[in-house]
Amino acid sequence: MKLSTRPIYGSSKIRFTHNRRGFLLVDAFAGAGLAVIALSMMAWVLSADVKIRKAQEQRMILLQASQNLVERLETLPFDALDQKTADSVASGLLSVTQWPDLHFKVTISKESATQQFKRVQVTGQVGSSDTLIIKLWRDRYQPAKKS
C-alpha cells in the first residue's frame, strides 16, 4: 500500500491509493439501505394520503346527506313532524343514497315555552368518520289572517 502526500482538493490529508473493491460492497449495502428507508417512507406517505382522502370523501357524503335530511324535515308541517315520520324520512333517504355504512339518528323533543317549537337533532355517521350533529328548531307558524 502506497501513501501519497499530494493534497486532495487543496487539503494536506494523506490518502490511501489502494484498490477499493471492498468498499464497493459496503457502499452498495448502504445505498440499498437508504433506498429501502426512502421507499418505506414514500409508501407510508401514500397510504396516509389515501386514508385522508377517503375520510374527506366520507365527511362530504355525510354533510350532504345530513343537510338533505334536515331540509326534508323542514318542509314537513309542524303537526306532522314526529319521531315516526322523521325516522321514515331518514330511512327513505338512506335507501336512495345506497351507502351501506351511512347511519342517521333523528331525535325530536318538544320544548315548553310561550311559543311552541320542536327541537330536531340529526346525528349521522359514515364509516369511521366523526359523528356529525345538526340541530334544527321548528316554530309553530301562525297562519296569516285573511283581510
Number of domains in the chain: 1
Within 10 angstroms of residue 47's Cβ, the number of other Cβ atoms is: 10
Asked if the structure places residue 7 within a domain, the reply is: no
Within 10 angstroms of residue 104's Cβ, the number of other Cβ atoms is: 20
Asked if the structure places residue 33 within a domain, the reply is: yes
Asked if the structure places residue 111 within a domain, the reply is: yes
Average pLDDT value for residue range 75-102: 80
Asked if the structure places residue 3 within a domain, the reply is: no
Asked if the structure places residue 10 within a domain, the reply is: no
What is the tens place of the pLDDT at every residue in 106-132?
888 776 555 577 778 888 887 776 777
Asked if the structure places residue 73 within a domain, the reply is: yes
Domain housing 131: 21-139
Per-residue pLDDT at 109 = 78
Specify whether the CB–CB gap between 104 and 88 falls below 8 A: no
Q: Is the dihedral of CA 17, 19, 24, 27 positive or negative?
A: negative
Asked if the structure places residue 107 within a domain, the reply is: yes
Task: Output DSSP code: residue 143.
Answer: P
Entry field: residues in the chain: 147
Q: Is the dihedral of CA 7, 9, 12, 14 positive or negative?
A: negative
